[in-house]
Structure 1
Amino acid sequence: MARPQTIEDDALIARLSGVFRDAGYKGASLGLLAEGCGLQKASLYHRFPGGKQQMAEEVIAAALDWYEVNIFAPLRGEGTPRERLAAVGQALTAFYADGRKACLLNMLAAPPEADGPFAAAIRGAFTAIIDAFCDLAREAGHDEAQARARATRVVMLLHGSLVLSRGLGSSEPFHAFLASLPGALIEG
């Protein structure tokens, strides 16, 4: 008879995500992943026969699912563009722990000279994020070129604010990003 799982799949993916966010893909050894999940290495391999790569792939998939529910759907949803952007700001605050958590996509990205195992998924994720913000900017009255430029800038500002927040040990850069979000994307 199979042994019962000691940790549910969603909780396991969340813990793996935390390790990858902190250590990156290369830095996340199997030992570190097991420790972060509270499991033995053998238990991780049992759950993820594809090893660390499968773990990272499932973490990326879960993050994209989260983005669909908490970012993309609200951006397409009911309310004014400003109201929808406020809801997205709250979701980003939760996802990035008020600016204290690193961007998972960045931490799993390969060095620029390499095309790592997740490069296509990461490019697709960033493109989807930019597209979603671009659609809202267009809805707010900006033409395609302006909307795309604004959306790209917003994604750059978001990720820059995460780097600064972690580097400075302060949520202030992230808060400044959130405060600037309506002006950067939909106003003016």
Structure 2
Amino acid sequence: MGRDSRERMVRSAAYLFRERGYSGTGFREVIRHSGAPRGSIYHHFPGGKAQLAEEAVRYAGEFLNSGIQAAVEGGDPAAAVDAFIGWWRRVLVKSDFRAGCPVVAVTVESHEDAPQLAAAAAAVFDRWQDTLATGLANAGVPDERAGRLARLIVAAVEGATIMCRAKRDLSPLDDVIAELKELMHTAGAAV
């Protein structure tokens, strides 16, 4: 019951939440998808499904943030937005519009019994916003405006991803990226 099984289960949970949501994903599906030994899920996640979900949200958040961070470090905030949107574009197309953001999937379901899930999701959204805001500020956008614009980017991209799933069409993401780039340009970012 090594670390590899645990990591596979976390990745599988994040993957399954994208398509099935939190309530629609059970331990059996995670075990089947990950190929981990059956009893290992209870060994690695004694806190149950909420513990697994919290770690899956963190994993998904860090995975996507690393792509945004790489683009930000390149000095181009538009590239960071492209990286953020490009990820969701690939997820949508590859899944035939069945998959979305696992962080959103966990966030939108009620978790009165697991408030740590909302806190984990909020931390992921904050991290994405901070990374984007840093890139915008480095490109010349005043700090306060960079923070607001970063929040808008995250909200617009997440909303557009949901709309793309509903419409089974990428045009909401295309429209969002066009408008966000124009907005970043007018905000003073060197795009």
What is the distance in 2 between the residues matched to 1:59 and 1:160? 21
Q: Which runs of 5+ in 2 are unaligned?
A: 187-191
What is the distance in 2 between the residues matched to 1:54 and 1:60? 10
Q: Is the 8 A contact 1:74 1:88 kept in 2?
A: no
Any residues of structure 2 matched to 1:40-119 within 5 Å, and which? Answer: 41-75=38-72, 77-94=73-90, 96-98=91-93, 100=97, 101-109=99-107, 111=109, 114=112, 116-119=115-118
Q: Which range moved further: 44-53 or 150-159?
A: 44-53
RMSD of aligned residue pairs (Cα, Å): 3.1
Q: Is the 8 A contact 1:110 1:116 kept in 2?
A: no
Q: TM-score, normalised by structure 2?
A: 0.75
Q: CA deviation at 1:147?
A: 2.1
Specify whether residues 90 and 51 from structure 1 end up closer, same or farther in structure 2 by C-alpha distance, changes over 3 A only: same
Q: CA deviation at 1:113?
A: 8.7
Q: Is the 8 A contact 2:80 2:132 kept in 1?
A: no
- Aligned match of 1:22: 19
Q: Percent identity?
A: 22
Which secondary structure state, in structure 2, belongs to the residue aligned with residue 25 of structure 1? Answer: coil
Q: Is the 8 A contact 1:161 1:177 kept in 2?
A: yes
Specify whether residues 50 and 168 from structure 1 end up closer, same or farther in structure 2 by C-alpha distance, changes over 3 A only: same
Q: Which range moved further: 107-116 or 158-167?
A: 107-116
Q: Which has the higher contact order (CA 8 A, sep 6+)?
A: 2
Specify whether residues 20 and 145 from structure 1 end up closer, same or farther in structure 2 by C-alpha distance, changes over 3 A only: same
Q: Deviations over 1:105-163 (max 9, x none)?
A: 11112657947222222112111212222222223333233322222211111011111
Q: Deviations over 1:65-105 (max 9, x none)?
A: 31342112431x134433454445444544x3459331211
What is the distance in 2 between the residues matched to 1:113 and 1:71? 29
Specify whether residues 64 and 80 from structure 1 end up closer, same or farther in structure 2 by C-alpha distance, changes over 3 A only: closer
What is the distance in 2 between the residues matched to 1:21 and 1:82? 26
Specify whether residues 9 and 178 from structure 1 end up closer, same or farther in structure 2 by C-alpha distance, changes over 3 A only: farther
Q: TM-score, normalised by structure 1?
A: 0.76
Q: Which range moved further: 140-149 or 157-166?
A: 140-149
Which secondary structure state, in structure 1, belongs to the residue aligned with residue 100 of structure 2? Answer: coil
What is the distance in 1 between the residues matched to 2:169 and 2:19? 17
What is the distance in 2 between the residues matched to 1:155 and 1:62? 17
